[in-house]
Each structure stands twice: as C-alpha cells, then as structure tokens.
A and B are shown apart, each in its own frame.
Chain A
Amino acid sequence: MATKNLNAVPDVDPKIQYQPWEGRFDEACQKSGEIRPHWEYVLNALTQLGPAGLLDRQQKAQRILRDDGANYNQVGEKSKSREWQLDPVPMLIDSEDWSRIESGLSERAELFDLILRDLYGPQELIRNRILPPELILSHSSFLRVCHGLSVPGEQQLILHAVDMVRGPDGTIQVVADRTQAPSGAGYALENRLVMSRILPSLIRDSQAHRLALFFQALRRKLNNLSPNGGTPRVVILTPGAYSETYFEHTYLANYLGYSLVQGGDLTVRDGYVWLKSLDGLHRVDVILRRVDDTWCDPVELRGDSHLGVPGLLEVVRAGNVAVANPLGSGVLENPALHKYMPQVSHFFLGRELSLPSVHTWWLGDPDDRKYVFANLDNLIIKSTHRRAGEHSIYTGDLNDEQRSQVRAKLARNPERWAAQIANLPSTAPAWNRNKSNLQPRPTVIRGFAVADDSSYTVMSGGLTRVASSSKQTVVSNQLGASSKDTWVLASEPQRYTTLRDQQTTSLTGELSSDLPSRVVENLFWMGRYSERAESSTRLLRTTFMQLSAVNSLPEGVRRQLLWSVTAVTGSYPGFNSENKETVADPEPELLAIILDSKRFGSVSSNLHAMLNCTEEAREMLSGDTHRVLSDLRDTLDDLPQQLRPGSLSAPEEALDPLITSLLALSGLTQESMIRGFGWRFLEMGRRLERTLQSILLLRALLVPVLSEDEEEQVLEASLMCGEVLVTYRRRYRSQPELRNTLILLLLDRTNPRSLQYQLDQLTQHLSELQDAGDSTSSSILSEERRRLLEARTLLRLCRPEQLAELDKDGQRSALDQLLGKLFTLMNDTATLIAGHYFEHKSNPQQLVNTRWSDYE
C-alpha cells in the first residue's frame, strides 16, 4: 500500500504520514487507503498541527499527567511506577457503530448479572447443563462463603468492564470481562480531561460524547445501594499506595467525593462497618471495593490478608453494608465462560448474543482440549484464574521447547486453562514521537457499564489501550502499553454535564470527620519528615558554604559544625571526634548524609519517607502540591548526578532547589489546605519537628565553649541555619554574640523559626483540638498539653544572660540543661500526641491457622 499523505494543507512541513499494515483492519483507513469518514476531521486537524505541534501537545499531555500524579504501579515492585501514557491521537467510534456496541455491552452486563445471581443461588445454569459444574465449582474465585449474599436492588453486578477488539473482518469481539473491581474508568476520565486541555477545540468540534453521565449513574447507583437510612456514606476501599491502579483510586475518590480507605481504616462493631476517624467511628453504608474478593475478609476468606476488614462478610450477610462489586463476583472473570455465552444468552434471554466473544476453548472440555493441542501454534492461552503478574501467552511467539513446556503445563491441570483465537486486533494511528509520524498500533478498547435502575448505563467512551510496539500481540499496561482517549462521535452537539448538575446531598457535620485517622497520621508524619529534611538540608548547605569559604575555617568551628550535622541528622557515629579520617576529609560523609537513602537520618531517606506519606494521603493534596512533589522527586533523583564526588565546586547550590521545593510545599499547605484535621496535624508535625531539630542544632553548636573568634563564626552559622542572619545584622548592627543570638533563636515571638514561636503554635493547635472534642474534658489538660505547657513555661522563664554565661567550670551548663529538658519534654509531647490520636492496633491474627485454597 502506498504511503498515504494525510496532509490537507500543503504548506505544513514536514508532513505527517500514516501507512496501515497490510492485512489488518485499520480503524482510520479503509482497505483502499481512503480515510474512513469519521476519522477525516480529526486526522486533518492533527495533520495541520504538524509533527512539531503534535509533539508539543504530547509533551503538554505528559506534563499534565505527571502533575496530576497519573501513574500505574508495576506489580511486585515497590514504589516503582510508570507514568500514565496518553497518545494525543484519540480513538474514534462513529455513532452508528457505537449504538451496536452500547446495546451489546448493556446486554452482556445484564447476562453476567444473571450468571452471578444464579451461581451464588439456584445454580440453574449447572443443573440445566448450560455450564459444566467443573468450570465453576473448581474455580478458586467461586467463593462458597458468598453463597446467598446479596446487595439491595435488582442487579447484583454493579460495575462491569469489557475488553473488546475489532477483528480482521471489522466486527467487535469481547476478549475479557472484568467483574470484581474493574479498573480503568478513572483513567478514561483523566484521559478525557487531559485531551480537553491539549486539544480543546478539536474535542468540541468533533462532538465527542461526554463521560460525565456514566459517573452520575455510578454515583446514583452507589447511593441507592445503601441498606441503611439517611444520607449514605460511601467509601472506596483500596489495597493501598502500592496497588497497580492507586492513582485511579484517589482520583475517583476525589471526583466522586468519597473517602478513600484501606482495610485498617474500617472496623466491624455491632454488626456494622465503621470508618475510624479522629473524632470517632462513622458508619459506612456502601463500599466500592478495589480489593480483590479473596482478600476482603480474613475471617472467612484468605486468613493471611491484611488488606481486608475482619467481619465484613457477616455484615454483608446481615444486610448492614453493601459491597460493590459483590464479593464472589471474581468467578465471572473466567475467560472460559466466553465459550458458553451463546448458550447462556439463549437460556436467559432466549436470543443470540448481540456482542460475540472471541472464539474460546476450555481445556477442561475433552474435545476442546484435543483441538487446542492440535493447534497450539496460533492461540492465546489464558489462565482461567487471573493472578497478578501473570500474562496471557501467545503461542505463536514460542519456540518448540517453550511450546512443549506450555503443553505440559496445560496437560497437568487442563481445567485451569482457556485458549482464544489469536485474532489480530485492529490497528489505529498512534503518534510516534521518535519517527515524527503516525503509526498503526494494535488497540484494545475497555468499555464500562454500571447498573442503573433496572438496566445498565454504558459509558459513552472508554479506555483504549495501545500496544507499545508493533510486535506486541498482548496489550497490557503491565507490559508498557499506552492509552488513548476514546471518542464516541455524536451526530449532534453535546449538552454540557458534569457531576455537579445532579442534585446532591452532603453528609452532615464537618468534612474532615470522613478522613480516616490513617490519612491524618500520614499527614502528621509528612509534616515531620519534610521539616526534618528541610532543616538538615539547611544545615548541610551552611556547612558546605562555611567549609568552602575563602578564609579557611578555624579547627574548632569546623569540628563543631561537622558534629552538629551528625547530631541534628542523628546519623551516628558520623563526625565523632574519634573518627579522625572522617573529620579530616568530610566530603564523603556529608554526601552520604545527603544521598544515601538507606541511611537513617539522611536527607534522602527523610524525603523518601515523606513522599511515602504523601502517597497515603494523596487525595488530600491539591494539584499544585502534586506538581511540587513531582519536582521534588525529580530533584531528588537528580541529586546524585549534581553531587558527584570530586566535582563539588559549590555543592550548596545543588541543595537550593530542594529547599525551594520544600518551602513551596509548606507554603501550599498554608495557602491551599482546608483547616481541618488534616491540615492541623500536618502543621503540628512540622512544628514539633522544627522544635526538636532546633534544639538539637543549638545544643550541638552553642553549648560547647570556643574562643571568641571561633564562637562568632559558629553563631553566624546557627543564625544562617535559622534564616535570621540578615535580621540579626539589621537589628543589632554588630557581630553576632551569644545572648542576642539566643534571644532571636529561642525567644523572639515574631521570628517564625524561633522555639517560642513553635511552642505557641503547638499550644494553640492542641487547645483547639481538645476544645473541639468533649467539652467536659477540656478543663483538664491532656498529658501532651501538660508537657507542652511545662516546656513553654521553662522557655518563658529563662534569662538569656544566664544562659550565655559560663559556670564555674567554664561550661554553659544552664543552656545545656535547658535545651536538654526542652528536648525531653517535646519528644514526649510528640509521642503522646501520636498515642492519643492515632490507633496502633496490631494486625489481625488467625485464631486457628487455616489454609486458603488457591492454585499451586
């Protein structure tokens, strides 16, 4: 086929070219090479943008995605995530084609709902020999403990997602169903929001159907599922920050306005499920789960699961909470079911399936087995039970040895395997930035349906995934696929709708009461770690500056400064005076304290800990905050490069961007966070940490007695760390001396970095917290407030002259003692706050060890 020049405007150069593959169905091009009518407008518009324009849009898209924190975590690799990939060329489906797909998807959801209800009820499909008993009853996702469970409403299957491909003959076929915790709807929404920012007029003029109606239906359905009266409290249950699609969980929680919770945030008492928040327990009515069903309740399912809620099943059984999708729905994901769908359709609906499945064989069936073994060269082999990290096998890619291994594996447990025709999925044009052109890429479309009254509402669009290379036969995000926004083209302009069009009722009471205490705790630690990183970075910067000053540093100052680095970061033994070599050549140790993420107290380890906390509290942070965090992550990744040993001309400069990001972060929490529990605890964490860090610093730098000249330099360094050197000079117009330094750093209430200021702030936070609680108890100070009051009083009563004086032994024992006492009191305060407000229950353990039957 000749290279087709799509360019309608001849003067744009270089041209964007597109050549579909021989013998494959292409979404955009007909066999003759003509562009299909519904693609013309979009392709022309993209062509007019030209390669430079498209590259620019793609980069903009990736930037937005990155700022939104859109990523996809790799299975099994902690904290390794891939940025979500979005192709600037959308997938287009015309309205006529779509109406067929839409009714097919709705019918399929209806059928799967009927299957689900049947399997956990009368099992008519088995009794009537529509489904072989082994197909269902040997499947490890058929959960006998879920027999007879139900959620309110007619349908049991709430959400259904379907992967579809268009085969060589142009018909759409289903290749997979997702029925227990379908993912992708949130990514589809994010794709749409990004596209409407990078190509706003194109999306408008193409009249792409909006996605909001689907989410409205989802929200309506979830609200209606509530078995209890009043305004329902709906939560999204996530396995946590390391799950593959965590971004989506936080994204949907925010978009739909639900709390994002983990198993440990919920507890079962008195036959109900409750959300543990700082102001007590709140009843949960509906759980949208993203945790696979066998992990949801260690009492009756996998006993070793820490992701679930012990007792959940019994609450469902009692009809006091609704879980969507219902537990046990994973059994519908068995790909071997495809084989039986035509019969199931006849059985339940008395008609042909309108959206066919790709031809599927089940190896548990003797005839099918024979066929598969005889035709093992061009099939896709799928396990009947999908497990994380397991992919379909395309047998065409295998050599003889691999093929016989596969054969042996299938023969061992045939009922655990299904085979599908390796139908080559249709291709669609995708932007290839390396070659600056459009290239055909195999595509899989995921469609979504949500139960709505008596039928299903289908998302007018979906998530299209694109193979990452032309070679790939299996399209999977785990294998690095990219995605496309999917536009269903309307024949008439779209009315504008968003979630907010809907009449909504909100839960009464303070918003923050829906915040799991785990999230608040993470914000508290986020505050602590970020402050810890910031103050040690400041100190390191000061140290580098002093070390590289034109005049060589007096030995005493140098020793003191280096020791303070060790003392403040807690990275012992460090610059202990006995480690003569380390002190003589401080650079390796200083670099390690910055870069070595495995080392306790290093800047890098604190920042990583802080970033982990932000993941757990993701939904609480604004878009701008995510951007700052992305920058911070980049700066952190870049640091080893910036601080290569031996190349240190001005290492302190490499630390500047870090401090800037951290300052931006604290600025954002001040300016953009709602003054709820979350903000308060983040602030308290920060203040507590600043208190502790300054005490450590002042004790290391100012207590040891030095000669007058040396002391001046040390004082200067401490003022520098405290960001008040300039203030000092302006205020006292003299060289630094101890008494005034102490006033500025310890007692000055107008200095936001002084100790007094931190204690004032903390006092206010704690009193407001206690006052907000039980009014009778507020007249009696809590333990943490007692410590704080004692610390504050000690500080108020101290006399700077006395602290600066030497005792009879020539030591600054008064200062030392004061700082020591303050440290103990404030350290206790921190521990007491954590103990008072955050629950630390140990993980559930099995009373009797049980086995969970899973394959192998």
Chain B
Amino acid sequence: MIYRIRHITRYEYQKPVSQCFNKAHLLPRSTNTQRCLERKVSISPNADWQREHKDYFGNNYCYFMLQEPHRSLEIDITSRIDVKPSQPEGSLDLGCSVAEATARMVEAADEATLMAREFLLDSAMIRANDDLRDYAKASFKPDRSLLASVREITQRIFEDFTYDPEFSTIATPLDEVLKHRRGVCQDFAHLAIGCLRSLGFPARYVSGYLETLPPPGQEKLVGADASHAWFAVYSPGDGWFEFDPTNNNMPSGQHIVTAWGRDYEDVAPLRGVIFDGGGKQTLDVSVDVARV
C-alpha cells in the first residue's frame, strides 16, 4: 500500500522572532515493512540553513535555521511511503515465554539482545517503578508467551484507560496518567513501555501516523488526523514487535512509522530555540494520510 502523508505545522508569533533553530523528527524512516519513496520538506519563510541527518536510533531528522525576523513559521512535509502489512493478528503463542525472556535478557547471549538492553533503562519521561510493575504483572505469567502477554497488557490499557485529549499535555507525568487512568496515545505508549521496563523487558516508543480515511465500511481510528504514537517490545531471539494500546491492535499496514526512541523526548516532532519575540504563540498542526 502506498500512502501520501502531508504534515503541516504552523506557528504564529505575537512578536517577531529574530532567529530560530529547529530540529524536526518528521521524516518517516525506512523499516522492515515500509520504504520511503519520496519526501519534500518546505519551510516558510525560507530557511537559511537546512540539512537532513540520521540520529542515534537511525531516524531521519531535518535541522533548519532561520536568521531573519519572522512572525510565522510553517513546516510543510510531504512523504510518499510504501507500507507492507506485517504481524498478522491471531495467535501470539509464539516466541519465547516470559520466563525465558527474563533469563535471556540477563544472559544476553546474542548481540541484538545485548544492545536491546538500552531500552530497559530509564529515560527522560519514563522511569520504571513498582506501581507500573504491579499494574502489569497479572498479564505476565512465567510460562506464557511474552508477546501474548504484551498483547494482553495492550488490551488492558485500552480498556482501563480513557482517551482524553483534555487531560494531559506533553508534560503530564506517567504516575498521573496511571492514577487518573486518562491520557492520549503518547501517554498510553509511555505507560506500556514503563510497565514493560519495570518487568525487565525492553520497550521503545514509536511515533508515526495512522491512515486518516478508513477503507469503506471500516471505522475511523482514533489518532488519525494527527501524529500518532505506539510502542514496540523486544522479544529476545525473536525481535521487535509493535503494539498500539490506543486502538488495541498490532500495527499492520495502516500505521506509518516516523521514528523510534526511548520515549517521546528522543523523537519529539519539533524541538527548537527562538530568540526575541514569541510571546503568545499559536500552534496549528494538520496531518493528512491518504492511500495513493
């Protein structure tokens, strides 16, 4: 399936900004199941410096600077991505068991498992703790498959938590989300990652998009028309598997990956610094994902 994604971010500043430096994690990466065919980044007013790089996790990002005074900033990114369906839903009684996974993580006999330990560590927005472990542990029986257990915790988050864009901001801490059982896709992804890390399983944050218009006869998914987020877990010896707790499914064909990292902070869509001006600013984001 080929998708065309258009992501427009627009800032309006009350007072002119004299200089601006930005790092945008908005360029979909290539993965085992998707290939980027084409992308176009257009920045208005024109950037005085613009480069694309790969980050530590292999994600693409665009760095740009504006050095003339401006009152608005628009980043318009269009990509064409070929996505192959993967991870068919069905029985997940495959891969290693919870007990095996635990043992293999400690042993880390192969390089992939050893390097996956990076995703066990605390990160800026996710700290493993007992509350998260206590919430999750019922789904993780030692002899059950790890992936089936993760599928269950994905479902539990979907059922126990209310999708509520009013409740949280980027800065809402994880324990607040756990306490009030509310949040948005970022929070649910963080929550699942926190649960998995607290139990000793590597998990990473995945940012991306969902198909905006559903195929005829299907319901529109939550999180379309905006950036979306989910997570992936590492099953030792088996590799990484993605889960979407906001929609209670395993991404396959309709999720387009932009970037992954330890948490939101590693792949924040935009991060930057402005000089002068700013004041009250308004932000407008629009996303359109369509089958070509």
Report A's interface with B, CB cutoff 8 A. 123, 126-127, 129, 133-134, 137-138, 144-145, 147, 267-271, 298-300, 303, 310-311, 314, 317-318, 841-842, 844-853
> What number of B residues sit within 8 Å (CB to CB) of A?
40
B271–A299 touching, CB < 8 Å: yes
* A138: chain B residues within 8 A (beta carbon): 121-122
A853–B265 touching, CB < 8 Å: yes
> How distant is B186 from chain A, measured CB to nearest CB, in Å?
13
Return the contact of B121 from the options A137, A145, A271, A299 (Cβ within 8 A): A137
A317–B118 touching, CB < 8 Å: no
B274–A845 touching, CB < 8 Å: yes
> How distant is A269 from chain B, measured CB to nearest CB, in Å?
5
Known: A127-B111, A311-B65. 17 other contacts (CB 8 A): A123-B115, A127-B115, A137-B121, A268-B21, A269-B65, A270-B67, A310-B275, A314-B49, A842-B276, A844-B273, A844-B275, A845-B278, A847-B22, A847-B271, A847-B272, A849-B170, A853-B122
In the complex, residue of chain B having the shortest beta-carbon distance to the beta carbon of A269: B67
In the complex, residue of chain A having the shortest beta-carbon distance to the beta carbon of B123: A853
> How distant is B177 from chain A, measured CB to nearest CB, in Å?
15
Digit string of B64-87 for contact with A (CB within 8 Å is 1, else 0)?
010100000000000000000000
Return the contact of B274 from the options A271, A314, A844, A849 (Cβ within 8 A): A844
> How distant is B69 from chain A, measured CB to nearest CB, in Å?
12
A848–B274 touching, CB < 8 Å: no
Digit string of B22-58 for contact with A (CB within 8 Å is 1, else 0)?
1100000000000000000000000011010101110
Interface of B is mostly: mixed
State whether the Cβ of B124 lies closer than 8 Å to any Cβ in chain A: yes
A144–B55 touching, CB < 8 Å: yes
A849 and B278 alpha carbons, distance in the complex (Å):
13
> How distant is A128 from chain B, measured CB to nearest CB, in Å?
9
Return the contact of B21 from the options A127, A299, A318, A852 (Cβ within 8 A): A299
State whether the Cβ of B18 lies closer than 8 Å to any Cβ in chain A: yes
State whether the Cβ of B138 lies closer than 8 Å to any Cβ in chain A: no
* B115: chain A residues within 8 A (beta carbon): 123, 126-127, 133
A841–B275 touching, CB < 8 Å: yes
A268–B276 touching, CB < 8 Å: no
Contact A851:B274 (CB < 8 A) given known A127-B115, A269-B67:
no
Return the contact of A133 from the options B23, B65, B118, B266 (Cβ within 8 A): B118
State whether the Cβ of B8 lies closer than 8 Å to any Cβ in chain A: no
A848–B268 touching, CB < 8 Å: yes
In the complex, residue of chain B having the shortest beta-carbon distance to the beta carbon of A298: B273
A318–B273 touching, CB < 8 Å: no
State whether the Cβ of B292 lies closer than 8 Å to any Cβ in chain A: no
* B104: chain A residues within 8 A (beta carbon): none
* B11: chain A residues within 8 A (beta carbon): 847
> How distant is B119 from chain A, measured CB to nearest CB, in Å?
9
Contact A147:B125 (CB < 8 A) given known A311-B21, A844-B274:
no
* B19: chain A residues within 8 A (beta carbon): 267, 310
State whether the Cβ of B114 lies closer than 8 Å to any Cβ in chain A: yes
> How distant is B81 from chain A, measured CB to nearest CB, in Å?
25
A847–B121 touching, CB < 8 Å: no
Pairs A–B under 8 Å by Cβ, sample size 19: A127-B111, A138-B122, A144-B55, A147-B56, A268-B21, A269-B67, A270-B67, A310-B21, A310-B273, A314-B65, A317-B53, A844-B273, A845-B273, A847-B273, A847-B274, A850-B268, A851-B265, A853-B122, A853-B265
Which are the 6 A-B pairs with shortest beta-carbon distances?
A: A853-B124, A144-B56, A847-B272, A147-B56, A844-B273, A299-B21
Return the contact of A134 from the options B23, B117, B274 (Cβ within 8 A): B117
A268 and B22 alpha carbons, distance in the complex (Å):
13
> How distant is A639 from chain B, measured CB to nearest CB, in Å?
42
State whether the Cβ of B213 lies closer than 8 Å to any Cβ in chain A: no
State whether the Cβ of B241 lies closer than 8 Å to any Cβ in chain A: no
Interface of A is mostly: loop
> How distant is A296 from chain B, measured CB to nearest CB, in Å?
13
A271 and B67 alpha carbons, distance in the complex (Å):
11
In the complex, residue of chain B having the shortest beta-carbon distance to the beta carbon of A123: B115
* A126: chain B residues within 8 A (beta carbon): 114-115
* A147: chain B residues within 8 A (beta carbon): 55-56
Return the contact of B20 from the options A127, A303, A847 (Cβ within 8 A): A847
Contact A137:B118 (CB < 8 A) given known A842-B275, A848-B268, A851-B124:
yes
* B161: chain A residues within 8 A (beta carbon): none
> How distant is A432 from chain B, measured CB to nearest CB, in Å?
49
* A134: chain B residues within 8 A (beta carbon): 117, 121
In the complex, residue of chain A having the shortest beta-carbon distance to the beta carbon of B63: A314
Contact A848:B124 (CB < 8 A) given known A134-B117, A268-B65:
no
* B275: chain A residues within 8 A (beta carbon): 310, 841-842, 844-845
> How distant is A426 from chain B, measured CB to nearest CB, in Å?
39
* B268: chain A residues within 8 A (beta carbon): 848, 850
* B55: chain A residues within 8 A (beta carbon): 144-145, 147
In the complex, residue of chain B having the shortest beta-carbon distance to the beta carbon of A128: B111
A847–B270 touching, CB < 8 Å: yes
In the complex, residue of chain B having the shortest beta-carbon distance to the beta carbon of A137: B118
A852 and B271 alpha carbons, distance in the complex (Å):
12
In the complex, residue of chain A having the shortest beta-carbon distance to the beta carbon of B169: A849
> How distant is B289 from chain A, measured CB to nearest CB, in Å?
23
A147 and B23 alpha carbons, distance in the complex (Å):
15
> How distant is B149 from chain A, measured CB to nearest CB, in Å?
24
* A850: chain B residues within 8 A (beta carbon): 265, 268, 271
A190 and B56 alpha carbons, distance in the complex (Å):
42
CB interface residues, B 102-123, toward A, < 8 Å = 111, 114-115, 117-118, 121-123
* A298: chain B residues within 8 A (beta carbon): 273
B276–A841 touching, CB < 8 Å: yes
In the complex, residue of chain A having the shortest beta-carbon distance to the beta carbon of B121: A138
A311 and B276 alpha carbons, distance in the complex (Å):
16
* B118: chain A residues within 8 A (beta carbon): 133, 137
* A849: chain B residues within 8 A (beta carbon): 170-171
> How distant is A461 from chain B, measured CB to nearest CB, in Å?
40
B18–A841 touching, CB < 8 Å: yes
B114–A314 touching, CB < 8 Å: no
A844 and B51 alpha carbons, distance in the complex (Å):
22
A270 and B65 alpha carbons, distance in the complex (Å):
8
B51–A314 touching, CB < 8 Å: yes
A303 and B273 alpha carbons, distance in the complex (Å):
8
* B65: chain A residues within 8 A (beta carbon): 268-269, 271, 311, 314
B48–A299 touching, CB < 8 Å: no
Of B49, B51, B57, most buried by chain A (CB within 10 Å of CB) is B49
> How distant is A248 from chain B, measured CB to nearest CB, in Å?
29
A144 and B274 alpha carbons, distance in the complex (Å):
23
A224 and B63 alpha carbons, distance in the complex (Å):
28
Return the contact of B114 from the options A129, A300, A845 (Cβ within 8 A): A129
> How distant is A508 from chain B, measured CB to nearest CB, in Å?
26
A844 and B268 alpha carbons, distance in the complex (Å):
19
